[in-house]
Structure 1
């Protein structure tokens, strides 16, 4: 009987998400995919146990090329409204970072862009084109990372509902 009274509380807690979360609730104000059509995830988010250890602090998304006489580099779109906070080269690839407010920043690499820090972007706006990346993944891919403050979080949580399925008793 006590368990039956706890079910609504548990369900509400699961729907609310982690404490202090600034991610939109599933199905409400979601971000959009940075590539169209919806890309295949080639490599998933695999954060390191400690900030200085190796890991994969984002996801790699497979990009489809336009077919035709001239193959165009896939367009990369902003997944949400924001302001460009960085556009430049880091080591050997071009990186674009967008500040979405609320402590959330997304980064994309490799992206050729004409945007500059301070430029405002809107959800779905083309922010550049996928560039060649030396040895990051096989084929053409976009590395998409999201940070909340200084912590990397799974970008897929902003475009997919990653909550576990919960089976509840029927009364």
Structure 2
């Protein structure tokens, strides 16, 4: 017969095995949720691109189909326009220029993962290696007017991923039975 403590331990092991951060392919590989819930540990091992930890002004809301409209990243509130944007993980700058009417910088982190930031002014050139936490550039006004913010997107190949999965734990909270239930 399994005791309540054994059942709780088995449930915890199952949750760990099914967690998005334990999925093959690395952090965020199985993340499709746009909810922001659960503990705020750095599940994916990346750093926040703004300091102090920013508020999320607009969440990840991917389209149902690639050609439909959606929000393919998150908007993070900065302390002010001109705030420093740092690389969330080591990588190589692959693009630094203007897309439509906004300056964008893109960093390839390896394993098919790329992060992009807009509207960010940068002096870095494609091919520049950057360390985690290294300054990529500075926020320019206009993206989230009136609040200063940066749009952060992450892609693996052609698939957009929730950037928050790389800096926080997005797994839902699950209630487990108590370890020592009161006799009943």
TM-score range, shorter chain: 0.7 to 0.9
Structure 2 counterpart of 1:62: 77
Distance in 2 between the 1:149 and 1:20 partners? 16
Structure 1 counterpart of 2:170: 162
Structure 1 counterpart of 2:19: 15
The 5 A counterparts of 1:21-170 are 21-23=25-27, 27=42, 30-65=45-80, 73-133=82-142, 136-169=144-177, 170=179
Alpha-carbon offset, residue 148 of structure 1 = 1.2
Alpha-carbon offset, residue 27 of structure 1 = 4.5
Distance 1:24 1:151, change over 3 A: closer
Alpha-carbon offset, residue 11 of structure 1 = 2.4
Distance 1:61 1:29, change over 3 A: closer
Structure 1 counterpart of 2:35: none
Alpha-carbon offset, residue 118 of structure 1 = 0.6
Larger relative contact order (Cα-Cα within 8 Å, sequence gap ≥ 6): 2
Uncovered stretches (5+) of structure 1, i.e. residues with no partner: 66-71
Q: Is the 8 A contact 2:44 2:167 kept in 1?
A: no
Superposed CA RMSD in Å reads 2.6
Distance in 1 between the 2:113 and 2:75 partners? 19
Distance in 2 between the 1:127 and 1:156 partners? 19
Q: Is the 8 A contact 1:24 1:30 kept in 2?
A: no
TM-score (normalised: structure 1): 0.84
TM-score (normalised: structure 2): 0.79
Distance in 1 between the 2:138 and 2:59 partners? 22
Distance 1:57 1:137, change over 3 A: farther
